Structure 1
Amino acid sequence: MSELTARLVKLGRDLGLEGPELRAFVKEERDREEKREAQERQEKKEAQERQEKREAQERQEKKEAQERQEKREEQERKDELEKLKLQAEIENAKSLHSEKDSSTSDWIAKIPRMNPFSEAKGDTMDAFLFRFEMLVKAHNWSEDKQFLALSNLLTGESLKVLQTLSVEQQTYACLKQALLVQQLTTT
């Protein structure tokens, strides 16, 4: 006889139960106790599952946050490298072009090397224009030289934007605005 059964028999006798009434009382109370224990086990199991689910979600969120941080740091490294390359190009251009050129043909031949804009290589127009304007600033180019230099660096869809400009619109400011509008409408 289990300890629970022995306690229930004693309790039933204390209540004045005997024979079939005592057996029914013991069975009913034992069933009730087993049901309570089963419910406790189920609740404990569900609490454990919720805890495991919470921990898994926290691990996933931590992993995603770490991945975002790593991507952000990688982008910062790329941006810093690009900035250093651009500064080196500017310094090189300054040392190569300390004198102002008098003729347009001489000026075009001495434009510092800058890769043409290429969406296929992942260029964005605003980043490309930023690099271009750094060169413009370093060389103190006039607006007509800016327009000419930029138009020589355009390819693909950006070149089509240039072709849509009227003669009156062929200024650096108009070209820049049209390129940025085109970028906004395609993204």
Structure 2
Amino acid sequence: MPSNCGREFLCDLTELANPFGRVKAREHQENLIIRLPPLKPPAKDRGLEAWIKRCNYFVQRTMISEDPILNADNCIVVVIYVECIQLAFIKPGKDTTWTYVDERWRGNEEVVHVKDNFYSVNNRSQLLYFKITRDSSSDVTLAAKEIPRKSVHKGYIVDSNEGLLMVKRFLDWEVDKFSN
């Protein structure tokens, strides 16, 4: 599963695991695997059987705000999951269930953590901003309006020295003039 962080962790549907758990700084850490509750599957009327066949691809992107072993109390895991490409988050040291971000904000392609804030870009070229509070709630705000799409394929967010950048990858192709 893709991970969007500078820390090296593997994430499946139910756990975070550090593949470099034997690194010297972590030799004496007992909890090298962080257990996570499962995300909710889609409703039966939305094709549960089809979902079961592709459940290995259910989580599209994972973002970890802090090292979940060294700083478990401040760690937040945010995922973009396939069911309408929505956002969900959990604080592994505090929460026992996932919190699902407002369904109106669907189509998320990327999520990043910058200075205690979270930003997401969706497939409508909108930059969304949200902060997760102590009580595990979040209010999503539209940070930047839609950029007109001209064959936009995918959006990305880059945290640079100049500030937060929204990058768009475009597709352009030419029709082969020799084809029938």
TM-score grouping bracket, smaller chain normalisation: under 0.3
Structure with the bigger percentage of strand: 2
TM-score norm. by structure 2 comes to 0.27
Asked which structure has the greater RCO (Cα within 8 Å, sep 6+), the reply is 1
Whichever of the two has the greater Rg, that structure is 1
The normalised TM-score by structure 1 is 0.26
